[in-house]
Amino acid sequence: MSYEIRFIGGKPCIFLDDEELPSRVVVCGMCGGKGCHVNPSIDGHGITPEEMDELGPEFFEDYMGGMFDVQCQRCHGKRVDAEVVDERLTKAQREAVEEDWEADAAERSEQRLRDLGVQF
């Protein structure tokens, strides 16, 4: 996505092409407001109960105790995020946001195909 979140005076604000969009503060959806989450290299694709059993009780204790936690990649430990307030967007802002979302969706689709081995 080409939009970015910048913290201004401790408040997250959304910018698209250097224009601030109307937004509201929300609890970070990635870390649930904790400011950290398990390192994606540890459980990025999930850990099944069988895998957890194989890893043993010490790993489980370390995992649950936060040993593998890293600072949240989304909010950078600030525990809050921002979301666009659709009803306050101008027509031009709405068009730019929709264009950005469509480009992002296309990019994700292409990446999924590349991950499956499809060449363009």
**Which residue type does 103 have?**
A
Q: Are 73 and 67 in contact, with CB atoms under 8 Å apart? A: no
Average pLDDT over the chain, rounded to whole? 91
pLDDT at position 1: 53
Both tokens of residue 64? 């649950």
Q: Averaged over 21-42, what is the pLDDT?
A: 94
Q: At 57, list the tokens.
A: 């009780």
Specify the pLDDT at position 87: 95
Q: Looking at the predicted structure, is the pLDDT value of residue 95 above 60?
A: yes
For the residues 49-74, what does the mean pLDDT come to?
A: 93
8 versus 1: the higher-pLDDT residue is 8
Three-point CA angle 100, 34, 11, nearest 5°: 55
16: β partners = 3, 19
